[in-house]
């Protein structure tokens, strides 16, 4: 939220975990409104940019994608960074990334954000990709390292 606000966007950050919102409020809140609530049911206005950072695996995949899609204003963009469960096909890639991650943690220290975690993620990379392609026509899906994926979807403009 702080990075988006620093880029000049007006930001609404929402989280169902009140302690996570409290930690966010203890930092710079310039340009940011924080809300304790459920992203699936809290009334939110459509926005030109909707970003979901590592939370889609906390809710039903399809319901979450549909909700995020509904929050994007015509001509706007949806950006998702998510985490997924790997399958045997992903193991070589994830093993290599895990070695790099452990080396980084040894050099820089491990960071824990204190927010609730869901592990392992309920959906595989392929399940997320299939749902995204079905529900977000034209979306760009990329599998990243360390159990991550990204989705970018541009909402069609209205004429």
Helices (H) and strands (E) in the chain, counts: 5, 6
* Beta pairing, strands 72-83 & 47-53: parallel
Spatial neighbors of 144 by CB under 8 A, at least 6 apart, are: 81, 150
* Confidence at residue 111, expressed as pLDDT on a 0 to 100 scale: 60
Listed as ranges, residues in the chain with pLDDT below 70 are 110-116, 118
On whether the pTM is more than 0.85, the answer is yes
What strands, in cross-sheet order, belong to the sheet with 140-143? 47-53, 72-83, 148-154, 140-143
Please report where in the chains the tokens 């399958």 appear, as a residue. Answer: 87
Query: Distance between CA atoms of 126 and 88, rounded to whole angstroms?
Result: 12
* Confidence at residue 110, expressed as pLDDT on a 0 to 100 scale: 67
* Confidence at residue 74, expressed as pLDDT on a 0 to 100 scale: 97
* Confidence at residue 113, expressed as pLDDT on a 0 to 100 scale: 64
* Confidence at residue 91, expressed as pLDDT on a 0 to 100 scale: 83
* Confidence at residue 112, expressed as pLDDT on a 0 to 100 scale: 64
């Amino acid at each position: 939220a702080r990075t988006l606000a620093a880029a000049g966007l007006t930001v609404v950050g929402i989280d169902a975990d009140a302690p996570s919102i409290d930690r966010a409020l203890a930092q710079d809140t310039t340009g940011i409104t924080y809300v304790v609530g459920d992203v699936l049911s809290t009334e939110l206005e459509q926005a030109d940019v909707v970003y979901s950072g590592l939370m889609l695996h906390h809710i039903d995949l399809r319901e979450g994608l549909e909700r995020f899609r509904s929050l994007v204003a015509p001509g706007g963009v949806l950006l998702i960074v998510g985490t997924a469960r790997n399958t045997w096909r992903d193991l070589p890639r994830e093993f290599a990334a895990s070695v790099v991650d452990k080396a980084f943690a040894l050099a820089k220290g491990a960071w824990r954000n204190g927010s609730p975690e869901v592990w392992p993620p309920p959906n595989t990379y392929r399940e997320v990709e299939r749902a995204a392609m079905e529900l977000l026509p034209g979306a760009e899906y990329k599998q990243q390292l360390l159990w991550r994926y990204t989705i970018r979807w541009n909402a069609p403009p209205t004429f």
